Amino acid sequence: MKQRYTLVSGRLRRVGLLFLLVLMASGGAWAQGPRLYYTQGSGTASLDAAKAVNADGTAGATLATAASNFSQPTDIAVDKLNGYIYVADQYVGSGGILRFTTAGTGRTVIVPPTAGATYNGLALDVAGNRLFFTQGSATNSALDALKVVNLATSAVSVLASGPSSFTQPTDLALDAAGGLLYVADQYVGTGGILRFTTAGTGRTVVVPGLANTDYNGLALDVTGNRLFFTQGSAVATLDALKVVSLATGFAVTQLATGAANFTQPTDLALDAAGGLLYVADQYVGTGGILRF
């Protein structure tokens, strides 16, 4: 999904260390910049974690960690108003969508696992008290889906699904005011960046798939009417940070690329006021969280 897999003894096993992140203003003050919340995933259970750090690199904290909390966490969403974080925990058949307090306590399963599928991207609608998420499968295309869970009742609704809509969806970005969802659909060469209404209708290809790459992270700038995204590949020259204009024509601009900048970028967070982008760069031992 947001990371490549190998098949080991009939199960999908993730290769490497994965960082996925969300950016939140810290209180009303930006003296140290906003605070980054991120997930760290690994084939080593003790390294699975939800963490937070100030955007200047200070005050790092581990909020929750290890197999008692996770089975390879992927995306994260923060409800600062109510003091919660939501984590998509992806390992096939044993993950789920979890809720913690922003201190890392009170672990609650919001959506239980689905056999044969993983949960990948999250987009929180605080005003609507609902959480949009993507569900992907490497073995059953009928399980690829865009869904939403009502956080008051835990009722889950399917908005779009199957091979007519997706080829393994990953990240999500929500334009709540516009009633739109952007979905990174990742499978190499056949995916793309898609747009739906929040009812799951009006499927539109915003950025078509590109051979030998996948799209992973999304960050929406509603005011600027543009969508930033990461492009990852096993070919280093294809790793990139890009932006697409959401006006008619969907023109794409490349911002940074190649091995000098990335080792397979995944997620994104945007500080629109500060003119900064934070990129989760995933490859074991050489990645990290970067700022541009």
| Mean pLDDT per 10-residue section of the chain, whose length is 292 residues | 32 36 47 78 88 90 93 91 92 80 95 91 96 92 96 96 92 96 82 94 94 91 96 91 94 95 90 91 77 93
- Can you give the pLDDT at residue 204? 94
- Can you give the pLDDT at residue 184? 95
Determine the straight-line distance between the first and last CA of the chain, rounded to whole angstroms. Answer: 25
For 181, phi then psi, to 5°, come to -125, 135
State pTM to two decimals: 0.89
User: How many whole angstroms separate alpha carbon 151 and alpha carbon 230?
Assistant: 29
- Can you give the pLDDT at residue 77? 95
- Can you give the pLDDT at residue 6? 26
- Can you give the pLDDT at residue 11? 26
SS3 236: helix
Amino acid at 235: V
- Can you give the pLDDT at residue 43? 82
- Can you give the pLDDT at residue 292? 94
CA 254 to chain CA mean position, Å: 20
- Can you give the pLDDT at residue 20? 53
- Can you give the pLDDT at residue 93? 59
Stated length of the chain: 292
Dihedral over Cα of 198, 196, 215, 170: its sign: positive
Residue in this structure with the two tokens 């960046």, named with its chain if needed: 193
- Can you give the pLDDT at residue 2? 44
CA 170 to chain CA mean position, Å: 6
Instruction: Name the maximum alpha-carbon separation found in the chain.
Output: 50
Nearest Cα neighbor of 102 from 26, 176, 46 is: 26
